[in-house]
Structure 1
Amino acid sequence: MRVWNKAAVMAAALTGMVYGAQAQMNPKEKLAAALKAIQDNYVDVMADEKLVDAAIAGMIRELDPHSRYFSREEALQMREAMSGSFTGIGIEYLMQRDSVYVTQVIPEGPADKKGLQPGDRIIAINGKSVAGQQISNYDIMKMLRGEKNTPVTLQIWRAATQAPFTTEIVRGAIPDKSVKAAYMVNDKTGYIALRIFNSTTRQEMDKALEELKAKGMQNLILDLQGNGGGYVEAAIGVADEFLKKDQLVFYSSPQDGGKDYYYTSGSGQFMEGKLVVMIDQNTASASEILSGALQDWDRAVLVGRRSFGKGLMQKPTALPDGSVMELTGARYFTPSGRSIQKPYHGAQYDDNVATRMASGELVNAGVVHFADSLKFTTLVSKRTVYGGGGIMPDKYVPIDTIEYNGWLQDVSDAGLVNKAVFAYIEGNRTALHTAYPQFTTFLNSFQLPATVVEEVVEEAQKAGRPLQPANAARLRNLLALEIKAQVARQLYSGNTYYTQVMNSDNESYRKALEIISDANAYNNYLPVVKPAAKKSAKK
């Protein structure tokens, strides 16, 4: 046992005073000295890698909210997330009553080719029981995913046969699409929702536009609500679909103060035709690059609420061990010269919805005030637009405060919605397919039984989440809509069906459709500018 006496304590204090009197040292040497001091003196043994990771992360926290550090493992996960695909068997599943149930089978994926069906129950994975084991969703995912071309053996229980069977599925590349939904709203108008900008976004947009045009699309609603951005190159690629050749998408200004310009190539598929873009408070980064360019060139009407306000570009810098520093390397500006970066020195930067809800901005456009110094003009019709803190839409649509009610989120987080959806489909799958063989019929005619909603309300009450009387009717309707949308996604296998159902109660979507369907309304936002007459040459 080591005993510390008064003399030793005084010596330690004097040592600290001596150190304090030392001349300043090279900061890099200081960092190395700190690392060695921890290694030599800290009570527990600490791995060098863990300490260095923490030091780098600490340095980056001092920069801005968007510079980030990814460890070697995190960097690998990030690359996979942005690659547009992952390796797996191609199913979506749900943990319900301590069992793993298949809710969707991705068409043409490995599981689909082996005959798995929605409603199948996975009993065991590679011989390990997963029924009644209280295994987490993350652990199930790790068991199903793996190296490409490696097998995974599943034991399945199928209600129709009332018997288990075993099947081996070889893992393959499963698309992780950035186009969340694409469909025809009516005979002339198409709809595309983008959830992210990744390495396959341009190819996906090409395919979606081609398919919609083949169905007669003349107008397009592009939904960027909730799209937090992604690769800048992908945003340029999507802008290329709508803007003519050599039109500026944005320019950036790096550390040296110069300017880098990014133009379209003229290889797009939808340079003509009416275009409405939906944005909201969570539309950020690459989404703002795209929507800002389309607004500045008077190419689209923007509908919704002011975007997030991220005008900083990150540059990935790989370190020798495979970790990555994603550093803010430049500020970007829209074609008219707008910077849309909002101030980021403050605790409320990321608490975007709560901050804007508290200010009243999400329900009243008049709350937003722009200084004259932030005033810019569009490049064709010379409309007034503003920089500084996000992109303001041309048509403001207030948020549905009931839709963002905490009760709905609590009920969903508690798994009560998933439980209701699963129970309803499990008991009615055959009857639903018979009554609604086509999604259009389901969308227009299906009414969720009120008893399903009431069961969720009762379950929520028992769990300490009572429905508030003031908004009870509206909350019940929104709950019924969510359940109907999830039923559609599972019955018809696709997120497009979920989105179509949810759009039926989306006010921004309704406004976008109104504007794009009315030539006068559309032209009020985007006046037709006649080209200047050419002057005759003097002789």
Structure 2
Amino acid sequence: MRRSRKFAVVAALTIPVFVGGFFLQSHDSAKGALLLDQVLSLVSDRYVDTLPQGDIYEKAARGLVRELNDPYSQLFSPAELKAFSTNTNGHYGGIGMQIESQQGVVTVSKVFPNTPAEAAGVLEGDQILYVDTLSTRGWTLNRTSDYLTGTPGTKVKVKFGRPGVSQPIEVEFTRAVIHIPAVPYAIMLAGKVGYIPLLQFNETAAQDVADAAESLVKQGAKGLILDERGNPGGLVDQSLELSNFFLKNGQEIVSVRSRVGPPQVDYAKGTPILGAVPLVVLTDGGTASAAEIVAGALQDHDRALIVGQTSFGKGLVQTLYPLDDGYALKLTTAKWYTPSGRSIQRERKFVDGHFVEMPPDSAESDQSKKKRPAFKSDDGRVVYGGGGITPDVIVPDDTLTTAEQQFAKALAPKSQEVYLTLYAFALDLSHHLAPGFKYQPAWRDEFMKRLDAKGVKIDPALFAHASRYVDQLIEDRVSRFVEGDSTAKRRELPFDAPLERALHLLDQARTQQELFALADAKPAAPVKKP
């Protein structure tokens, strides 16, 4: 059998090959390399279909990474690396809008402030019909994004379709550096409490939070809420910098332990710029990675009260290794520990593309969290390990009534149609409303008529019993169109139990220690909904 000379090189390179800090020089490694070389050669020479040799190498590499059974390790192609870098860097060259596919049509779902798209008057709901001279019919979101983004200073023409406007709207944009904010807004809530939602840890996250917090303090905020719910993490160095703003010089933030070398310990440096303001951090099951580093460090040093639900439990560190030809490998290389010594990694398996808890999480009550291993904060407060950051005050989300749960279940099979109908209905309403609008119950009936017209049939009695839930869905979407995300957040406050609890505590506390004391005085159990 003729052997490919290119694949024979694989075996020659295995001794020595530097991988993970040591040289593969053992007999077993040589045998393994020979096996790989033989399989690659056979696939190249004998597989029923001809495959480009470059594709075979990439498939082999992807298979190796996939067989690690680690959802966080990933081989990036050049295009995938570009998308990953955009998400983590927080900047890209483009026109400043978020897009989604609605029934196969690329549609603007959000316009970022201070961008070419905002300056040109692009609106949410506008449909992208052409980019330069190319029709977008049948385009994927990735392809559309590739054509819209580019080097800052270059130009791109876009034709938009707008509901109610007969002719397409053509705009020539000059691409600019677009900043994707980690903090989309910051607002003052009742009782002079500042609220800061932190969506991700991109390259600007720490400074975005610092700017928002300092602005709120200047406005008279006597307490701050940092909302990390749903924050998937991101750049670890940003979590260190953010912790630095709240902690004293020399306090440990996190330690990283890998297979190679001694633990790496990071400490706070300098004088904290936000060292005295009472602070609550909100967490939930979507709070992960870098977001957990911040929550864990602030909890261990008694700098923040953690409120909400147990965080995700991703106590693993990934390192990005650049490879040839624009590829890169994101590889899990270490575990991290909070200052008190807690490993936040939650034991789980990755089965069929989903996380499975081992065992399932049961730390959603003050009684069950005591089953976890206990540690002590600087001031002797008990904090819990065993996976994720367990809040000091556990507050479940505002639960749906039985009727609302049945309604949501009934909608599930046609969730896409429901979403598109709600989106279009709210957009239509927004054209006739001004900020400060009052919700009209008649909108609920109109929404049901539109669902029915789209083939989404719902029992009228079930719809009526879920009226509160339906009203909330409609009002929230309309408010985001008419008033923006920050005002929509104010409107949804009565439905946000963890945030309301944090506000209640901060309203009574003048210092961080008073906040901890109030949290220890357990309130009466909430009344269950029917």
TM range (shorter): 0.7 to 0.9
Q: State the alpha-carbon separation in 2 of the partners of residues 266 and 473 from structure 1.
A: 58
Are the structure 2 counterparts of residues 461 and 524 from structure 1 closer, same or farther at C-alpha, using a change threshold of 3 Å? farther
The within-5 A match list for 1:159-170 is: 164-170=168-174
Are the structure 2 counterparts of residues 345 and 161 from structure 1 closer, same or farther at C-alpha, using a change threshold of 3 Å? closer
1:15 matched residue in structure 2: none
Which of 75, 89, 92 is the aligned partner of 2:95?
Answer: 89
1:75 Cα offset (Å): 1.5
Are the structure 2 counterparts of residues 390 and 476 from structure 1 closer, same or farther at C-alpha, using a change threshold of 3 Å? same
1:40 matched residue in structure 2: 45
1:289 counterpart = 2:293: yes
1:370 matched residue in structure 2: 371
Are the structure 2 counterparts of residues 330 and 109 from structure 1 closer, same or farther at C-alpha, using a change threshold of 3 Å? same
1:286 Cα offset (Å): 0.8
2:508 matched residue in structure 1: 518
The answer to whether the 8 Å contact 2:256/2:265 transfers is yes
The within-5 A match list for 1:168-179 is: 168-179=172-183
The within-5 A match list for 1:291-310 is: 291-310=295-314
1:290 Cα offset (Å): 0.6
The amino acid that maps onto 2:375 is F
> Any gaps of 5 or more consecutive residues in structure 2?
1-26, 519-530
1:370 Cα offset (Å): 2.8
The amino acid that maps onto 1:260 is Q
The answer to whether the 8 Å contact 2:201/2:235 transfers is yes
1:322 counterpart = 2:322: no
Which shifted more, 121-130 or 399-408? 399-408
1:27 matched residue in structure 2: 32
Q: State the alpha-carbon separation in 1 of the partners of residues 170 and 314 from structure 2.
A: 50
The number of residue pairs the alignment matches comes to 486
1:519 Cα offset (Å): 2.1
Are the structure 2 counterparts of residues 109 and 411 from structure 1 closer, same or farther at C-alpha, using a change threshold of 3 Å? farther
Which shifted more, 469-478 or 47-56? 469-478
Which of 223, 227, 231 is the aligned partner of 2:231?
Answer: 227
1:56 counterpart = 2:54: no
The within-5 A match list for 1:129-144 is: 129=135, 133=137, 135-144=139-148
Which of 83, 86, 95 is the aligned partner of 1:80?
Answer: 86
Which of 251, 274, 277 is the aligned partner of 2:255?
Answer: 251
Q: TM-score, normalised by structure 2?
A: 0.81
Which shifted more, 155-164 or 510-519? 155-164
2:316 matched residue in structure 1: 312
Q: TM-score, normalised by structure 1?
A: 0.80
Q: State the alpha-carbon separation in 2 of the partners of residues 117 and 277 from structure 1.
A: 34
Q: State the alpha-carbon separation in 2 of the partners of residues 352 and 228 from structure 1.
A: 18
1:109 matched residue in structure 2: 115
1:68 counterpart = 2:81: no
1:411 Cα offset (Å): 7.9
Are the structure 2 counterparts of residues 245 and 34 from structure 1 closer, same or farther at C-alpha, using a change threshold of 3 Å? same
Q: State the alpha-carbon separation in 1 of the partners of residues 368 and 455 from structure 2.
A: 36
The amino acid that maps onto 2:153 is N
Secondary structure of 1:504 counterpart: helix
Which of 381, 387, 390 is the aligned partner of 2:388?
Answer: 390
1:265 Cα offset (Å): 1.7
Which shifted more, 30-39 or 275-284? 30-39
The amino acid that maps onto 1:336 is S
1:514 Cα offset (Å): 1.0
Q: State the alpha-carbon separation in 2 of the partners of residues 157 and 44 from structure 1.
A: 44
The amino acid that maps onto 1:113 is A
Are the structure 2 counterparts of residues 399 and 271 from structure 1 closer, same or farther at C-alpha, using a change threshold of 3 Å? same
Which shifted more, 208-217 or 339-348? 339-348
Are the structure 2 counterparts of residues 74 and 428 from structure 1 closer, same or farther at C-alpha, using a change threshold of 3 Å? closer
User: Identical aligned pairs, as a percentage?
Assistant: 30
Flag the structure with larger Rg.
Answer: 1
The within-5 A match list for 1:328-339 is: 328-339=332-343
Which of 269, 280, 284 is the aligned partner of 2:284?
Answer: 280
1:413 Cα offset (Å): 4.0
Are the structure 2 counterparts of residues 244 and 388 from structure 1 closer, same or farther at C-alpha, using a change threshold of 3 Å? same
Secondary structure of 1:181 counterpart: coil
Q: What's the CA shift string for 1:312-369, capped at 9, x where partnerless?
A: 111112222222222221111100111111123463994469995xx7655x454445
The amino acid that maps onto 1:506 is D
1:167 Cα offset (Å): 2.8
Q: State the alpha-carbon separation in 2 of the partners of residues 464 and 402 from structure 1.
A: 25
Q: State the alpha-carbon separation in 2 of the partners of residues 279 and 272 from structure 1.
A: 21
Q: State the alpha-carbon separation in 1 of the partners of residues 462 and 292 from structure 2.
A: 34
Q: State the alpha-carbon separation in 2 of the partners of residues 101 and 128 from structure 1.
A: 16
Which of 200, 206, 218 is the aligned partner of 1:202?
Answer: 206
Are the structure 2 counterparts of residues 235 and 263 from structure 1 closer, same or farther at C-alpha, using a change threshold of 3 Å? same
Q: State the alpha-carbon separation in 2 of the partners of residues 85 and 134 from structure 1.
A: 28
The answer to whether the 8 Å contact 1:228/1:284 transfers is yes
Q: State the alpha-carbon separation in 1 of the partners of residues 257 and 121 from structure 2.
A: 53
The answer to whether the 8 Å contact 1:407/1:465 transfers is no
Q: State the alpha-carbon separation in 2 of the partners of residues 96 and 84 from structure 1.
A: 26
Q: What's the CA shift string for 1:5-63, capped at 9, x where partnerless?
A: xxxxxxxxxxxxxxxxxx97521232122211210111111223333233223323343
Q: State the alpha-carbon separation in 2 of the partners of residues 254 and 470 from structure 1.
A: 58
The amino acid that maps onto 2:472 is L
Secondary structure of 1:256 counterpart: coil
The answer to whether the 8 Å contact 2:411/2:418 transfers is no
The amino acid that maps onto 1:321 is D
Which shifted more, 165-174 or 515-524? 515-524
Q: What's the CA shift string for 1:366-416, capped at 9, x where partnerless?
A: 444535xx221001x201112121111000112444399554973884143
Which shifted more, 518-527 or 145-154? 518-527
